[in-house]
């Protein structure tokens, strides 16, 4: 079978090594990385004076913050309003069960590792935090009051204060009501309008991300000037926590697959090697998807039916690396801000991480928005977000590795339940060919997968 990949915006010829290096330096991730290093060095060099740059970084953060409420509302309503009954049944049930189950495990592992390693504990802020955030984080309420707080008496009041859980609940109910209305009348006017609002807000965020290198430079310069070398050790601890989590969850996947399928785990590395290389070099589940689909059928022996359904669903619901990373972000920000999370806030953070994994929000270059969304929803200070943005290229590698290979192993578990794994293919004694994918049909899923990466 010929290899197919989704269209990529590559219009330039490879050119000389110097030209390729120049193009690499102009990549947004490279620019942010360079700005981050320069900001840390500058902040360490000038010390407290770097605080004069903080207002520029704060402006960058506020430009992201002002987009969160309309983006979340439009995204949740559009996603819920567009739901159909297509794909339901035993195959879908098994797929969703495994994916949600491993997502919960990823969130719990992230919480446990973060509590043990304390990646954000080295950060000490001498500036005052938002008193409202400190008060909300320090006051533990009963579970009845916590649940009651999920429902706002005035949705516009919740929007004005960016109280995200009531906003999400309202959007879910609105989306379900809109879905019912469309089913009865066939009128999609409101849904189409909100879909266009979502696309416009996403375009706004693209514009804001053009100044991300400047914002990250100023944020990290001020942070380094305030906390000193701890900014570097905290970044290493954050990345190390994420990497350890990826290793643990990958090993759990392998153990569960081995026990359930009775297939040799020693053959798995070779079968996953090609897609792993593509995943870590592109940090894109979408670009890796054709390779994953082909390998699932031709190397692992999963039936085309199971591979097509499970892996395509996995593009939006199988982002276990994203769940792991998002929960670590919640814990990191809490530790960096010296905020003691209540059990309710921890559970809320896990729930939001899993909700994000289900593809509710799709944002190009979306980690800054996701980090702001999580901090705002759980009630956490945002001073350390610039550091997390700066190293997101590395965490993107970890996320994509786990997302891609986790989906393949979930497909193996689903196929085992319906006896749709060809053991001869897995053992290398038989050969099959996979069918090509329709790239146009998968375009929306590709976008959501890349947002999670």
Q: Residue 383 corresponds to which tokens in the numbers above?
A: 């001073």
Q: What are the φ/ψ torsions at residue 274 (nearest 5 degrees)? A: -65, -50
Q: Which residue has the higher pLDDT, 345 or 79?
A: 345
Q: Residue 70 corresponds to which tokens in the numbers above?
A: 């309309």
pLDDT at 363: 40
Give the burial class of 95: count Cβ atoms within 10 A of its Cβ; 0-12 exposed, 13-18 middle, 19 or more buried.
buried
Q: What are the φ/ψ torsions at residue 285 (nearest 5 degrees)? A: -65, -30
pLDDT at 134: 42
117-121, 406-410, 433-437: which has the highest mean pLDDT?
Answer: 406-410
Mean per-residue pLDDT of the chain: 77
* Distance between CA atoms of residues 108 and 327, nearest Å: 8
Question: Is 127 within 8 Å of 226 (Cβ atoms)?
Answer: yes
pLDDT at 35: 84
pLDDT at 141: 44
> Would you tell me how many other CB atoms lie within 10 Å of the CB of residue 266?
8
pLDDT tens digits, one per residue of 154-170: 888 888 877 767 887 88
pLDDT tens digits, one per residue of 282-312: 667 776 777 888 888 888 888 888 888 888 7
DSSP codes joined into one string, 110-159: HHHHHHHH-TTTT----SPPPHHHHHHHH----HHHHHHTTS-S-HHHHH
Confidence band of 446 (pLDDT split at 50, 70, 90): low
* Distance between CA atoms of residues 213 and 246, nearest Å: 28
Q: Which residue has the higher pLDDT, 252 or 367?
A: 252
Question: Is 316 within 8 Å of 421 (Cβ atoms)?
Answer: no
pLDDT at 110: 94
Q: Residue 361 corresponds to which tokens in the numbers above?
A: 């929000």
* Distance between CA atoms of residues 310 and 307, nearest Å: 5
DSSP codes joined into one string, 51-100: GGGHHHHHHHHHHHHHHHHHHHHHHHHHHHHT--STT-SHHHHHHHHHHH
pLDDT at 67: 79
pLDDT at 242: 93
Tell me the average pLDDT across 72-78.
78
């Amino acid at each position: 079978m010929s290899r197919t990949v989704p269209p990529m915006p590559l219009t330039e010829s490879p050119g000389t090594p110097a030209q390729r290096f120049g193009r690499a330096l102009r990549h947004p991730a490279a620019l942010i990385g360079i700005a981050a290093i320069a900001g840390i060095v500058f902040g360490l060099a000038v010390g407290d004076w770097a605080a004069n740059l903080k207002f520029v970084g704060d402006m960058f953060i506020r430009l992201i913050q002002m987009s969160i409420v309309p983006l979340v509302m439009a995204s949740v309503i559009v996603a819920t309003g567009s739901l159909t009954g297509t794909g339901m049944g035993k195959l879908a049930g098994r797929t969703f069960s495994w994916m949600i189950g491993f997502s919960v495990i990823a969130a719990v592992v992230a919480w446990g590792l973060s509590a043990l390693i304390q990646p954000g504990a080295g950060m000490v802020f001498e500036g005052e935090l938002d008193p409202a955030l400190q008060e909300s984080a320090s006051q533990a309420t009963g579970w009845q009051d916590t649940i009651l707080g999920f429902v706002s008496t005035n949705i516009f009041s919740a929007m004005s204060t960016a109280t995200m859980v009531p906003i999400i609940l309202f959007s879910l109910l609105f989306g379900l009501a809109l879905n019912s209305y469309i089913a009865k009348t066939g009128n999609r006017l409101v849904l189409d309008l909100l879909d266009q609002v979502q696309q416009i807000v996403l375009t706004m965020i693209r514009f804001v991300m053009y100044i991300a290198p400047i914002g990250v430079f100023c944020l990290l310069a001020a942070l380094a000037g305030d906390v000193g070398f701890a900014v570097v050790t905290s970044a290493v601890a954050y990345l190390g926590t994420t990497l350890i989590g990826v290793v643990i969850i990958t090993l759990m996947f392998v153990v569960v697959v081995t026990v359930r399928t009775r297939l040799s785990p020693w053959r798995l590395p070779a079968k996953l090697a090609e897609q792993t290389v593509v995943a870590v070099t592109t940090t894109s589940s979408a670009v890796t998807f054709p390779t994953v689909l082909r390998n699932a059928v031709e190397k692992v022996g999963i039936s085309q039916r199971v591979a097509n359904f499970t892996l395509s669903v996995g593009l939006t619901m199988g982002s276990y690396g994203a769940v792991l990373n998002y929960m670590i972000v919640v814990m990191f920000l809490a530790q960096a801000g010296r905020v003691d999370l209540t059990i309710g806030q921890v559970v809320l953070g896990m729930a939001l991480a899993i909700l994000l994994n289900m593809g509710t929000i799709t944002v190009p270059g979306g980690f800054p928005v996701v980090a702001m969304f999580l901090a705002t929803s759980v009630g956490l200070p945002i001073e350390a977000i610039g550091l997390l943005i700066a190293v997101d290229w590395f965490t993107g590698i970890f996320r994509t590795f786990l997302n891609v290979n986790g989906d393949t192993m979930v497909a193996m578990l689903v196929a085992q339940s319906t006896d749709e794994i060809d053991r001869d293919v897995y053992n290398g004694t038989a050969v099959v060919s996979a069918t090509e994918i329709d790239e146009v049909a998968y375009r929306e899923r590709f976008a959501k997968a890349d947002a999670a990466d």
